């Protein structure tokens, strides 16, 4: 039995279906991210787990217990909102202690747990600080400590890092993952940030228009996207139209002037999906011309025009000479690095 299970969960508002047939089994201690664009249903799904919204159909079970009719306060879940929702008239310690007071935890035990929670998020010594005198990152840590101090069975995170600047957001991602690994709390994160989902998650649930597109590890969803949507949404990708030449022996998969032995069972017309870093410059392969060359520190980004349309190539900056703008090149890649899908269909 899964620790947390969503079984055929759906949500409708009037005639509009916002979440449709959402099924997921979460193991104890897993870090799961719901990833997708605005309006894909990820926050609605989180709110149904939290109990703020009631599913129109399906069941949500925690350790076999049906949560569908359980009041949010009785579910034993910790929640960190995008806005942090700190009480401005309370100190950091008082904010963290609030949930414990509601659970009638004794004063001595409260003080001990609040101190430990603030220390865990790096805020020892900030107990008497009010939110207005704290940075965004510090407020985020208080909100996280408040959610964790009640020792929740599941921690729900609704885009908690989206208000932070890029550098602090990256630092908080590292801290959040370290904290989660240390305490082992089952965690579900809602995010539209692909890098955040890949950095933090054990598994990613990619969503589009209220439905699950793919569930897999960060590497699986990135390297083997299950649909055109996942391929395009999760990082940069190149799509090349290809066909199978069955007159050749053995049959060849052909995209412009690039070709390789055709994989077994491939249809006659397919789309090749390739991540930019999997493409190399070579003596033979797909004919291309460098349109733009951009230096990005640890790597170069090349925008190319090819026989099969535009392409992006990313090459690590290893100090070797790189082709310049306007230069004719050939693009090559390994068969095992590409994903194939029937043209107009799923992978």
Predicted pLDDT of residue 185: 93
Q: Which residues contact 303 (CB under 8 A, 6 or more apart)?
A: 290, 291, 292, 293, 294, 310, 311, 312
Q: What is the pTM of this model?
A: 0.84
Predicted pLDDT of residue 346: 45
For residues 157 and 155, give the distance between their C-alpha atoms in angstroms, rounded to a whole number. 7
Structural domain spans, the chain = 4-232, 236-342
Strand bridging mode 31-35 / 186-191:
parallel
| Beta bridge mates, 313 | 302
- Average pLDDT of the chain, as a whole number: 92
Q: pLDDT tens across 212-256, in order?
A: 999 999 999 998 888 889 988 988 899 999 999 999 989 999 999
Predicted pLDDT of residue 232: 85
Predicted pLDDT of residue 343: 72
The conformation of residue 86, written as its DSSP 8-state character, comes to: -
Homologous superfamily (CATH) for 236-342: Nucleic acid-binding proteins (2.40.50.140)
Predicted pLDDT of residue 344: 56
Q: pLDDT tens across 194-216, in order?
A: 989 999 999 999 999 999 999 99
CATH of domain 4-232: 3.40.50.300
Same fold, 4-232 and 236-342: no
Estimate the crossing angle of helix 166-183 against helix 136-148, to 10 degrees: 20
For residues 19 and 208, give the distance between their C-alpha atoms in angstroms, rounded to a whole number. 9
Question: Which is nearest to 78 in space by CA: 200, 186, 159?
Answer: 186
Predicted pLDDT of residue 188: 97
For residues 162 and 80, give the distance between their C-alpha atoms in angstroms, rounded to a whole number. 12
The stretches in the chain having pLDDT less than 50 are 345-347
């Amino acid at each position: 039995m899964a620790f947390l299970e969503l079984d055929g969960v759906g949500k409708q508002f009037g005639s509009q279906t916002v979440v449709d047939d959402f099924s997921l089994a979460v193991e104890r201690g897993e870090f799961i991210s719901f990833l997708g664009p605005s309006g894909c249903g990820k926050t609605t799904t989180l709110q149904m787990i939290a109990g703020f919204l009631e599913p129109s159909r399906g069941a949500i079970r925690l350790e076999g217990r049906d949560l569908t009719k359980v009041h949010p306060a009785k579910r034993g879940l910790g929640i960190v909102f995008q806005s942090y929702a700190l009480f401005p008239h309370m100190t950091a310690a008082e904010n963290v202690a609030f949930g414990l007071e509601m659970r009638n935890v004794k004063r001595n035990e409260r003080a001990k747990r609040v101190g430990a929670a603030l220390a865990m998020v790096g805020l020892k010594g900030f107990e008497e600080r009010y939110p207005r005198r704290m940075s965004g990152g510090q407020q985020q840590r208080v909100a996280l400590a408040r959610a964790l101090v009640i020792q929740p069975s599941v921690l729900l995170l609704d885009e908690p890092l989206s208000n932070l600047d890029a550098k602090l957001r990256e630092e908080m991602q590292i801290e959040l993952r370290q904290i989660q690994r240390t305490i082992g709390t089952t965690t579900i994160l809602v995010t539209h940030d692909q890098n955040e989902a890949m950095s933090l998650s054990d598994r990613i649930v990619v969503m589009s228009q209220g439905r699950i597109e793919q569930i897999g590890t960060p590497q699986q969803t990135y390297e083997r996207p299950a649909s055109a949507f996942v391929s395009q949404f999760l990082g940069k990708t190149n799509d090349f139209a290809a066909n199978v030449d069955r007159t050749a022996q053995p049959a060849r998969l052909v995209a412009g002037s690039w070709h390789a032995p055709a994989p077994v069972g491939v249809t006659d017309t397919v789309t090749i999906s390739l991540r930019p870093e999997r493409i190399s410059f070579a003596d033979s392969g797909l004919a291309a011309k460098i349109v733009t060359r951009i230096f990005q520190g640890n790597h170069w980004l090349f925008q190319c025009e090819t026989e099969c349309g535009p392409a992006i190539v990313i090459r690590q900056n290893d100090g070797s000479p790189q082709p310049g703008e306007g230069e004719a090149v050939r693009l090559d890649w390994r068969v095992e690095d590409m994903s194939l899908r029937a043209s107009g269909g799923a992978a």
